[in-house]
């Protein structure tokens, strides 16, 4: 009976072939299969990783080191890509707004309170109140719904009051009636619910001409957005919009085709 023998060289050659098939076959198979997730945004959902915090988030800002600051129902959340941390706010108030200025300082708007974050002696971020510096008569306000950092200071907006923090000085900007602020680049515009639009210039409200027609009663809520070149787009809840020059912020107002 003839005996079949295999030389050591042939054994190594055959073994190398089988190892190659085992290693590269899964990769080849995966490459020819359709990518079902192609074109799908990379979204990661967080269940209870943040711990026992509120269900609602009202604002989001990112610091210079990439850390996220989240205005949460239970306070201010931070996320460094690995862990969440809750920063205590006086009376565990709901944080309504958050922003970061060009120096990396984080500013926070709460319910009847606003301030910023600073490092304590151990290097941890803690909340420092700015609204404590106000006179007693100016401390009567509710939620700080918007907080914006600009080159002319940090602004804190409630529906009925505006506060400005600039060069370590806190000031109060009086307004009449309810308002809402909207940023366009480094500029801030204020929509007056009763009628009219203003622009904030160095801590002062400058009323824009021919804008009294815009009110919650006549046009519904107005959004102010950047438009073509140096134009602003004024979009209303009635599906009618206007544009106006951004440089002059005045006439003429041009009606844009219905949205």
* Interval 58-111: pLDDT, tens: 999 999 889 999 999 989 999 998 889 998 887 778 899 999 999 999 999 999
pLDDT for 21 beyond 90: no
> Under a CB-based contact definition with an 8 Å cutoff, are residues 76 and 57 in contact?
no
Tell me, which fold does domain 57-174 have in CATH?
A: Methylamine Dehydrogenase; Chain H (2.130.10)
What are the CA-CA distances from residue 90 to residues 7, 109, 126 (Å)? Answer: 81, 12, 11
23 or 217, greater pLDDT = 217
Q: What is the pLDDT of residues 102-139, one digit of tens each?
A: 999 999 999 999 999 999 889 889 999 999 999 888 88
Percent of the chain with pLDDT strictly greater than 70: 76
The pLDDT value recorded for residue 223 is 86
Q: How confident is the model at residue 168 (pLDDT cuts 50, 70, 90)?
A: very high
Alpha-carbon gap, residue 98 to 149, rounded angstroms: 10
Write b or e for each residue in 210-241: b if 16 or more Cβ atoms lie within 10 A of its Cβ, otherwise e.
ebeebbbeebeebebeebeeeebbbbbeeeeb
Residue 159's contacts (CB-CB under 8 Å, 6 or more residues apart) are 142, 143, 145, 178, 179, 180
| Most confident by average pLDDT, 183-192, 212-221, 249-258 | 183-192
Does 57 score more than 50 pLDDT? yes
pLDDT at 163 over 90: yes
- Domain coordinates in residue numbering, the chain: 57-174
Beta bridge partners of 42: none
* Cβ atoms 85, 77 nearer than 8 A: yes
| 75-79/68-72 β-pairing | antiparallel
- For residues 2 and 202, give the distance between their C-alpha atoms in angstroms, rounded to a whole number: 102
The residue behind tokens 């912020």 is 249
């Amino acid at each position: 009976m003839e005996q079949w023998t295999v030389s050591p060289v042939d054994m190594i050659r055959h073994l190398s072939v089988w190892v190659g098939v085992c290693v590269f076959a899964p990769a080849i198979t995966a490459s020819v299969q359709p990518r079902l997730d192609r074109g799908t945004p990379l979204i990661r959902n967080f269940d209870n990783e943040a711990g026992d915090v509120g269900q609602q988030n009202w604002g989001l800002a990112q610091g210079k080191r990439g850390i996220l600051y989240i205005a949460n129902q239970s306070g201010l959340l931070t996320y460094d890509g690995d862990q969440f941390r809750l920063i205590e706010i006086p009376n565990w108030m709901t944080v309504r707004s958050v922003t970061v200025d060009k120096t990396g300082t984080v500013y926070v708007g709460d319910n009847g309170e606003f301030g910023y974050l600073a490092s304590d002696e151990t290097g941890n971020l803690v909340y420092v109140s700015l609204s404590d510096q106000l006179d007693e008569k100016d401390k009567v306000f509710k939620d700080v719904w918007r907080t914006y950092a600009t080159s002319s200071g940090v602004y804190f907006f409630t529906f009925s009051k505006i506060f400005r923090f600039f060069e370590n000085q806190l000031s109060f900007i009086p307004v009449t009636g309810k308002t809402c602020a909207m940023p366009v680049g480094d500029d801030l515009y204020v929509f007056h619910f009763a009628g009219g639009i203003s622009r904030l210039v160095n801590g002062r409200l400058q009323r824009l001409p021919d804008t009294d027609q815009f009110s919650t009663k006549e046009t519904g809520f107005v959004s102010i957005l950047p438009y073509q070149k140096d134009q602003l787009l004024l979009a209303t809840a009635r599906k009618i919009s206007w544009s106006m020059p951004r440089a002059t912020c005045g006439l003429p107002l041009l009606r844009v085709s219905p949205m």
